[in-house]
């Protein structure tokens, strides 16, 4: 009952922030006119602004935020480690590398799906590497060190590719790929990311029961009929789908997958399956709020989303490391 | 031991300062002796003017950007010269009597070259059409080619006088570049737009100098004409805004392109941009 209330509350928050996100923008359209333009297509310029500029931005914030929250909760549940997060352990960075490679080699221009597919491939490599290096038996330190190594490598290669590009603007976009932004994205990006995300959401949602069983330990989980190998496959595939698709269109946005499950865990109790749904909604709310904030704080400067999420996330990360050390994990 | 070390360091520094001063004085003496024999340009805009004015063999090297036809109107001429990348070491190795730089050239390279005793002169950017003759004259004086500069100025002024827009309305135009970059009031581009008979909506919106105009605002202002530059190879997210569905819908009404090469620098080549805009004005009207 309490859990249902929480989900309803979070959903309400997402809807409210979605509406605010649609209303915020430099065009300064009055809410009533904005709504009329969005739904009924009244006013040529207003309709273009609402349907082609603001709607995709708000939709992408929901989709990517939910994806990051969900992926973070799933990874933390599977690794039973509160520090696992797609951005921190290099999954987002590797996805960005895949996307940059697809763009710079011209593959993305040749066929549209090449962009999310390449990002997905980058994410698969990173998740695979992390599971191989840190696995479930490795401790927090191994996980973080492996993540640093993967992130550093992906970041360096992304910078290399962009520096080698003949395009004069490419090198300055290193910051976009590392910090993420939703500015001036279009419905094309929504349609490009959505199929992969839906697939990833489904894969990650199937993990719920297994994650609950895992809290009893691996042996107990296996006697309950949970296949760890299948879980690992779903986790790798699902995370790669959602993070790859999100990063391909909006760059690598960090810390959402860390902060949201951490805040919601005490509220949902010790049930990882519940945390999945709650974190998806929480992630959507957090990214919507961050994207509204970047437009209000520095409206004309395309402040990167990752700046805000890191300002919230990094102190929490330090706190978590401190606590992990104290508990001697 | 430590004190002695400190004293000898100070003495060493004094000697090296004296040496640097001597080198600088020698350099100045050499420069005042006559026109510089070996000139290296490390800035796209000084590249253009130097190529137009220098005596044969006087210009030893221009920047590699000058050989890129997308931004340089004299790319063919530049490709015949040795190209440099504006790095102090390679420029110094060319043993120049004079290095031409712009105000946005890397400070590190300029300062290092000066420390090495190389004469570096920085040509101010022409921010108005009226500045262009003075810029040309300045370059002519530095190169000892005053007569050529005077002839170029005369051509420029005659060309400018010949290009007048037809009478009639003043269509509203916006310049739209990568990252939603545009030019507002007080820029050379704004002045050229106005001269060609357009109203610059970025200036109307209160933008002064170069800057960005959010896509939402551009769409709401419903310009009669969207003027863009050209695309660069490779992909960039910065240029993705040019293909945004909202901008494509706007451009369906009226769009025009003006090559970046023609007005990226305040040189007499801006007349080509002006001519192109006057033609666009005739179309839109």
Domains of chain A: 2-326 (1.10.3470.10)
Contacts of B212 in chain A (CB under 8 A): 300
* Pair (B115, B92) in one structural domain: yes
Is B196 within a domain? yes
Residue B7 lies in a domain: no
For residue B235, list chain A residues with Cβ-Cβ distance below 8 A: 103-104, 106, 108-109, 165, 167, 170
The pLDDT tens digits of the residues spanning A212-266 come to 999 888 889 889 988 888 998 899 899 999 999 999 999 999 999 999 999 999 8
Inside any domain, residue B45 = yes
- Domain end residue (candidates: B125, B157, B189): B157
Instruction: Tell me the residue range of the domain where B171 lies.
Output: 166-284
Q: Tokens 């931004």 identify what position?
A: B71
Same structural domain for residues B218 and B152?
no
pLDDT of residue A44: 83
**Domains of chain B: total:** 2
For position B14, what pLDDT does the model report? Answer: 56
Identify whether B110 is part of a domain. yes
Q: Within this chain, do residues B140 and B56 fall inside the same structural domain, yes or no?
A: yes
The per-residue pLDDT for B255 is 77
Same domain, B44 and B126: yes
Alpha-carbon distance values, B102 to A192, B121, B190, B259 (Å): 44, 8, 21, 22
* B130 lies in some domain: yes
* Beta carbons of A45 and B220 less than 8 Å apart: yes
The last residue of a domain, from among B139, B157, B175: B157
pTM of full prediction above 0.90 = no
> What pLDDT is attached to residue B235?
80
* Nearest CA distance, B200 vs chain A (angstrom): 18
Tell me whether residue B27 is in a domain.
no
Same domain, B216 and B116: no
Low-confidence stretches of chain A (pLDDT beneath 70):
136-138, 328-329
| Same-domain check for residues B189 and B129 | no
Report the distance separating Cα A133 and Cα A144, nearest Å: 10
By C-alpha distance, the chain A residue nearest B180 is A184
Pairs across A and B, CB distance < 8 A: 85
pLDDT tens per residue across all 285 residues of chain B:
344 444 555 555 555 555 554 444 444 444 456 899 999 999 999 999 999 999 999 999 999 999 999 899 999 999 999 999 999 999 999 999 999 999 888 888 999 999 999 999 999 989 899 999 999 999 999 999 999 999 999 999 999 999 877 677 899 999 999 989 999 999 999 999 999 999 999 999 999 998 889 999 999 998 999 998 888 888 888 888 888 999 888 877 677 888 888 898 999 999 999 999 998 888 887
- Classify residue B122: in a domain, yes or no: yes
DSSP assignment of chain B, as one string?
-HHHHHHHHHHHHHHHHHHHHHHHHHHHHHHHTSS-SSEEE-SHHHHHHHHHHPPTTTEEEEEGGGG-TTT-TTHHHHHTS-EE-S-HHHHHHT--SEEEE-TTS-HHHHHHHHHTT--EEEPPP--STTHHHHHHHHHHHHHT-HHHHHHHHHHHHHHHHH--PPSS---EEEE-BGGGEEE-BTSHHHHHHHHTT-EEHHHHTT-BSEEE--HHHHHHH--SEEEE----SS--HHHHGGG-HHHHHHHTT-EEE--HHHHSSSSTTHHHHHHHHHHHHHHH-
Burial of residue B57 (CB within 10 Å: 0-12, 13-18, 19+) is: exposed
With CB atoms and an 8 Å threshold, state whether A169 touches B232: yes
Indicate the residue among B115, B137, B157 that finishes a domain. B157
Tell me: do B195 and B128 sit in the same domain.
no
- Please indicate, yes or no, whether residues B218 and B173 belong to a single structural domain of this protein: yes
DSSP code for A173: G
Interface with A, mutate which of B220, B235, B248, B250 (most A CBs under 10 A) = B235
CATH code assigned at B62: 3.40.50.1980
Question: Which pLDDT score is estimated for B17?
Answer: 56
A window 127-166, beta carbon within 8 A of B: 165-166
Residue B95 shares a structural domain with residue B145: yes
CB < 8 Å to B177, chain A: none
Q: Cβ–Cβ of B238/A106 closer than 8 Å? A: no
| Residue in A106, A184, A300 nearest the CB of B241 | A184
Mutate to test the interface with A, among B215, B222, B251, B260 (most CBs of A within 10 A): B215
Q: Residue A255 — left, alpha, or beta (φ > 0 → left; ψ -120 to 50 → alpha)?
A: left
**B15 belongs to a structural domain:** no
């Amino acid at each position: 009952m309490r859990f249902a209330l929480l989900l309803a509350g979070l959903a309400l928050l997402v809807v409210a922030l979605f509406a605010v996100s649609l209303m915020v923008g430099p065009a300064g359209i009055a809410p009533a006119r904005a709504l009329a333009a969005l739904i009924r297509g009244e006013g040529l310029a207003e309709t273009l602004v609402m349907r082609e500029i603001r709607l995709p931005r708000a939709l992408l914030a929901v989709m990517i935020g939910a994806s990051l929250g969900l992926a973070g909760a799933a990874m933390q549940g599977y690794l039973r480690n509160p520090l696992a997060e797609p951005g921190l352990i290099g999954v987002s960075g590797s996805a960005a590398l895949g996307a940059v490679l697809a763009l710079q080699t011209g593959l993305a221009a040749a066929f549209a799906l090449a962009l999310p597919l390449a990002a997905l491939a980058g994410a698969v490599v990173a998740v695979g590497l992390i599971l191989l290096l840190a696995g479930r038996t490795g401790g927090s330190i191994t996980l973080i060190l492996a993540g640093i190594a993967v992130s550093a490598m992906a970041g360096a290669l992304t910078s290399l590719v962009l520096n080698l590009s003949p395009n004069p603007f490419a090198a300055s976009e290193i910051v976009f790929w590392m910090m993420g932004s939703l500015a001036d994205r279009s419905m094309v990006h929504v349609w490009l990311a959505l199929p992969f995300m839906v697939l990833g959401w489904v894969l990650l949602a199937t993990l719920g029961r297994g994650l609950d069983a895992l809290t009893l330990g691996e042996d107990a989980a296996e006697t309950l009929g949970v296949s760890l190998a299948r879980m690992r496959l779903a986790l790798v595939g699902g995370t790669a789908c959602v993070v790859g698709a999100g990063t391909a269109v909006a760059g690598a946005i960090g810390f959402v997958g860390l902060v949201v499950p951490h805040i919601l865990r005490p509220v949902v109790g010790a049930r990882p399956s519940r945390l999945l749904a709650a974190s998806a909604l929480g992630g959507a709310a957090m990214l919507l709020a961050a994207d509204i904030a970047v437009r209000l704080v520095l409206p004309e400067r395309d402040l990167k989303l990752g700046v805000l999420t890191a300002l919230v996330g990094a102190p929490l990360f330090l706190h978590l490391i401190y606590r992990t050390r104290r508990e001697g994990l | 031991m430590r004190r002695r070390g400190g004293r000898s360091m100070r003495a060493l520094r004094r000697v090296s300062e004296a040496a640097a001063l001597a080198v600088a004085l020698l350099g100045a003496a050499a420069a005042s002796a006559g026109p510089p024999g070996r000139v290296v340009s490390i800035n796209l805009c000084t590249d253009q003017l130097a190529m137009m004015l220098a005596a044969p063999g006087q210009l030893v090297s221009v920047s590699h950007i000058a050989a890129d036809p997308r931004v340089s109107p004299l790319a063919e001429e530049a490709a015949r010269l040795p190209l440099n990348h504006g790095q102090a070491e390679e420029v110094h190795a060319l043993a120049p009597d004079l290095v031409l730089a712009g105000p946005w050239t890397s400070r590190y390279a300029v300062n290092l070259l000066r420390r090495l005793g190389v004469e570096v002169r920085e040509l101010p950017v022409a921010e108005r059409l009226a500045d262009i003759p003075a810029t040309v004259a300045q370059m002519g004086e530095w190169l000892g080619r005053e007569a050529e500069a005077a002839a170029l100025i005369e051509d420029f002024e005659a060309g400018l006088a010949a290009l007048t827009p037809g009478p009639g309305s003043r269509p509203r135009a916006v310049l739209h570049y990568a990252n939603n970059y545009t030019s507002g009031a007080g820029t050379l581009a704004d002045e050229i737009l106005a001269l060609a008979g357009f109203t610059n909506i970025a200036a109307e919106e209160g933008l002064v100098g170069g800057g960005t105009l959010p896509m939402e605002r551009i769409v709401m202002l419903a310009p009669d004409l969207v003027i863009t530059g050209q695309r660069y190879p490779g992909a960039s997210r910065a240029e993705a805004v040019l293909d945004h569905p909202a901008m494509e819908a706007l451009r369906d009404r009226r769009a025009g392109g003006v090559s970046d090469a023609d007005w990226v620098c305040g040189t007499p080549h801006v007349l080509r941009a002006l001519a192109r805009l006057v033609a666009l004005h005739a179309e839109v009207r």
